[in-house]
A and B are shown apart, each in its own frame.
Chain A
């Protein structure tokens, strides 16, 4: 089992940061922003929060190399899924309709 440990105080600090970030996420939804900025802002904070959970609560910070590889590969496959799918959907109206081509 992992030799390195994270202190219980660190866990509590991380939890407080996560709760504060949740308040920020909800608060920003009351500010009038243009079209997709709410989603963009929410996802940026969400990614930060998820990283904190994975690094501290799931102990990725003190995990062995194999576990880190699994995490990195998961992110890579998810990235492929997101990027390739959105490349299709977001570019459908980018090119004019050209019958015969």
Chain B
């Protein structure tokens, strides 16, 4: 970024940047040559962390994929029992929250403090909305006896889903994948909401400027990754088989 480059910054933006020079000096850690290098290092660190997260969730997805192949009938029947409506709505909620997050970064770059705060709060609220819907879905799962080891009726799967007794453990396996993967994802969303709210508090205190918004950008990377994981959870958990209108769960 070059302050002298008039093709990038409007005069108003340049004025904001010049006013923030002192702020920028205070935010620069001593091991970096400038804020640009500091920002690139922070972003790279988050990308490397996300690479480890890709392997973490990737192993679960591969395991699920292999077992879908091996026990397709039982996994399809179990998948049809999940609440795909809440799963689908939650996908849209997360996608819109990602839009809010990227608009927050956009506002931070432009030095729009109110916009930054507003978009961060909206992101966190949509994250909370996601968790509330997830809680509602977990309640319907509890009501429908979909918790292996706690509330699970083996005979129901044999009588109503027409599975053989040998296939019932396969249903349990699918449900264990479901609880593990959605639970870990919900944990990530919870941590993300905490980080986004922390950014909102800092933004409210005037912590960020067009030359220093690195924490917002790095938090956004994490939030988008959490969104990306859910993009794959929807087809792999909820949409394995063919749905009908009778699958409505409310």
Contact = CB atoms under 8 A, between A and B. Distances in A.
Question: Are A and B genuine complex partners?
Answer: yes
B125 interface: no
Contacts of B102: 11, 56-57
Interface in B2-40: 2, 5, 8, 35-36, 39-40
Interface in B29-77: 35-36, 39-40, 43-44, 47-48, 50-51, 54-55, 58-59, 62, 65-66, 68-70, 72
A31 B242 contact: yes
Interface stretch (B134-142, B171-179, B186-194, B226-234): B226-234
B95 A29 contact: no
B79 to A, nearest CB: 9
Contacts of B8: 3
Contacts of B211: 1
A18 B95 contact: yes
A33 B243 CA distance: 11
Nearest to B5: A3
Contact of A77 (B1, B51, B84): B51
A64 B41 CA distance: 11
Interface in B92-116: 92, 95-96, 98-99, 101-103, 106, 109
Interface residues of B, number: 59
A19 B48 CA distance: 28
Given A81-B59, A86-B66, A1 B231 contact: no
A46 B57 CA distance: 15
Given A1-B39, A39-B235, A50-B228, A90 B51 contact: no
A33 B47 CA distance: 37
B95 A19 contact: yes
Contacts of A53: 98, 224, 227-228, 231
Contacts of B91: 22
Contacts of B1: 1, 3
Given A28-B239, A43-B236, 9 more contacts: A11-B103, A15-B95, A31-B242, A38-B235, A42-B239, A43-B232, A53-B224, A54-B224, A57-B224
Interface of B: 1-2, 5, 8, 35-36, 39-40, 43-44, 47-48, 50-51, 54-55, 58-59, 62, 65-66, 68-70, 72, 84, 88, 91-92, 95-96, 98-99, 101-103, 106, 109, 211, 213-214, 220-221, 224-225, 227-228, 231-232, 234-236, 238-244
18 contacts: A1-B211, A8-B103, A11-B102, A12-B99, A15-B95, A18-B95, A22-B88, A26-B239, A35-B72, A38-B235, A39-B236, A39-B239, A43-B236, A57-B101, A58-B220, A77-B54, A85-B62, A86-B62
